[in-house]
Structure 1
């Protein structure tokens, strides 16, 4: 018999066996202890903590009971499911608790099932869905991007009042968020630090709140170019941000955003002078810029300290990881305004009111891990207008805009 015929007969036999093989019966619909979720889950513990130990409630979910109730009221209509004849649905409260606990601890779905009484398969659907809803219901009020000249001017006035940096719309920074390598992606997410990541790009105001976030660019992208892929940069380049005109600003200087050495110097983006070419006046400029940029470092530090999912590689698909990260950012803004226990002056780096020395002693530094930033690169071929903008701010900080303590910082070697 020819080999091809033998192969064909064998293949037919296997196919027939698979076709007529009896389907295996499901061993059980769900594990018995998971069916007794109300008995074994942490919901009973939380009800006890709510009344007797509110501090422990805060530690468990990263928010106090009243703030949790407010958040639950906002998301419930969008995550409420109907009961069926087969089983009772998982309540909005249980869904939100499971999601917040996941963000707070970074535990795997398999581990989280023991405290929630929810199967890992269900958690894999519930948590990304709830994160997406959290962003949708909070973003309008708690992640509002400025759209008018007056809104930008209000932000600039606040920056000048708090950090003595005029005409500033916020501090820009980007961080690599560690993820596990998605299947069949090769080195697509592999970054210069030699791990897999997606990028969180953020603009932060003077009060440590996110004004704009862009999440999801793969870590393999050039660090210097990632900002250029965002809508923020596209609007900035096309003059669609409705920024104040020079004539409306202090000293008639350009309205600017603050970046570090990873970002290119541009008409509306300032970066420090290179350490290799510092003069006394340039050191003054670098100090004033660094002092104001401190807000973005502290904002990233706060979210890593509060949401320990950022301490580990996020083991979900990149699209779900994006929903998780953006939910953390909007939750950060929500909690900054609503929960005194989440944010206070001890939480972030403090400033001596007399010497204006910034102490690197924020409580977040005791519990946070480093989120890797972008590669610092030397910039060449800078546009004349960009150089002129930075020179105007340098002259201002060494002239009309000087502050009494900046020289002391230079003498102490802190600038």
Structure 2
């Protein structure tokens, strides 16, 4: 019996040793296969990051210090060369401008968990710019990048917030000096022949898709499913002030807005009234110009009603004012033309829609300022976008199609009372007399 027990123990020990040797061999083979697969995957990623075309001089490397983080999703980011103008059409900016934007917004975006877990910062910014420029749906972007819709919305919302926070103080300061106001007035006089004009103002509804959680009565309300964009621009189609999110009936929009309150309370640091030229002794205030939807104020001029324009002098005044006021309509047309997200109803809630509008306004100003400085090889605002006069023929700009308000932008019929004060009426009449004098008629 002792011999049989020793024999069984020896056999069991032998079997245990054999199994240990087998498992060690299997583990070695598994490690070798895993190492080979890892090396193959690394080589594959390296090949994707390199341009196989030797004729391409430079490529854009989106894997910056912010984007070079491990992520659970491998995005198929299209490669574009610096000389390729289609890259500008892809996200509305050059490669150098994109790199600058990544460096500006990267630190703030990197703090968000949606970038750390699912996607790099630079890729997230590229995704957002493509979404804004092409006007793709969230579902389309989700399918393209293999990321769920909720994460895509969070990425876009975070990127838009970072763009606004990092650019707004540089491209749209909240307070302007008197010298800046005077420079804006001089540009309006030189380019649009309207003296003492400090900006053109307009307002539009930005329509959103009703939420499925809302009641049918609220879904039918246009005001409930839209935000108001009240905007002022200068003579160069650059936004100087924007106000968003004002609800209520159309007639109360301007009075309830922060812009309207600031002008009404004389908090805008405007220059004091002064003569329009050296030969005049009458002082004229610096004014905004708006269309018939706006109230007549001492600081805001609107056209004479069409029914009262029997006199030629009033027609001349309206023509001069409307020509200057068209700058804001053109500015909004360029915004909706360059950023196709506004070509249709925005399928997001109020908070995310406001962030999208803020980001697009900042990007518009940032790229427009780059146009004026001449630092970019490609232009954000091309000549065919705006109205031109070729010889004796007037050619309408392509942005007029975008300004027809067929997408997210809808016109507002009235933003304030049509009744002006006696002083406001006197100021408009003074401008009328000045524009119909012999000197200004010759200039116009």
TM score, norm. by length of structure 1: 0.79
Aligned pair in 2 of structure 1 residues 378, 111: CA closer, same or farther (>3 Å)? closer
Instruction: Please name the residue that 1:131 is paired with.
Output: 160
RMSD: 2.7
Q: Say whether 1:111 aligns with 2:143.
A: no
Q: Assess if the C-alpha contact under 8 Å between 1:167 and 1:254 holds in 2.
A: yes
User: Aligned pairs, how many?
Assistant: 357
Q: Which of 168, 177, 185 is residue 206 of structure 2 equivalent to? A: 177
Matches within 5 A, 1:260-409: 260-278=291-309, 279-338=311-370, 339=376, 340-351=378-389, 359-365=394-400, 370=405, 371-375=409-413, 381-399=419-437, 402-404=440-442, 406=444
| 2:267 maps to 1:240 | yes
1:229 corresponds to 2:267: no
| 8 Å CA contact 1:223, 1:262 repeated in 2 | no
Q: Distance in 1 between matches of 2:169 and 2:230?
A: 19
**TM-superposed deviation, 1:36:** 6.9
* Superposition map of 1:155-166 within 5 A: 155-166=184-195
Partners of 2:240 and 2:436 lie apart in 1 by 30
Question: Runs of at least 4 residues of structure 1 off by over 4 A?
Answer: 81-84, 248-251, 366-369, 376-380
Indicate the residue corresponding to 1:120 in structure 2. Answer: 149
| Alpha carbons of structure 1 residues 398 and 188: separation in structure 2 relative to 1, 3 Å | farther
Distance 1:294 1:364, change over 3 A: same
Q: Structure 1 368/231 Cα, relative in aligned 2: closer, same or farther at 3 Å?
A: closer
- Residue among 82, 105, 127 paired with 1:75: 105
CA displacement at 1:346 relative to structure 2: 2.9
SS in 1 for 2:386: coil
Partner of 1:19: none
> Deviation digits for residues 53-81 of structure 1, max 9, x if unmatched?
62221111121211111111111111115
Residues in 2 aligned to 1:317 and 1:92: alpha-carbon distance in whole angstroms: 24
Structure 1: where are the runs of 5+ without partners? Answer: 1-34, 407-415
* TM-fit CA distance, 1:224: 2.8
Range moving further from structure 2, 277-286 or 113-122: 113-122
Q: Is the 8 A contact 2:112 2:158 kept in 1?
A: no
Residue 211 (1) aligns with residue 240 (2)? yes
Which residues of structure 2 form unaligned runs of 5+?
Answer: 1-70, 371-375
1:81 and 1:90 in contact (8 A); partners too: no
Deviations 1:277-303 (A, max 9, x none): 111000000000011111111111111
Which protein has the larger Cα radius of gyration, Structure 1 or Structure 2? 2
Which string of whole-angstrom CA distances, capped at 9 and with x for unpartnered residues, describes residues 336-357 of structure 1? 12254211333211246x77x8
Q: Rate the CA distance shift 1:58–1:226 in 2: closer, same or farther, 3 A.
A: same
TM-score (norm 2): 0.74
Q: Are 1:37 and 2:100 counterparts? A: no
* Residues 227/401 of structure 1: CA separation in 2 closer, same or farther (3 Å cut): farther
SS at 1:404's partner residue?
helix
> What does residue 50 of structure 2 align with?
none
C-alpha spacing 1:243/1:140, structure 2 compared with 1 (3 Å): same
SS in 2 for 1:37: coil
Deviations 1:77-107 (A, max 9, x none): 11115899xx855211111011111111222
Measured after TM superposition, the shift of residue 231 of structure 1 is 1.5
**Residues 192-244 of structure 1: CA deviation (Å, up to 9, x unaligned):** 8xx932111100100000000111223xx222321112211111111111111
CA displacement at 1:144 relative to structure 2: 2.0
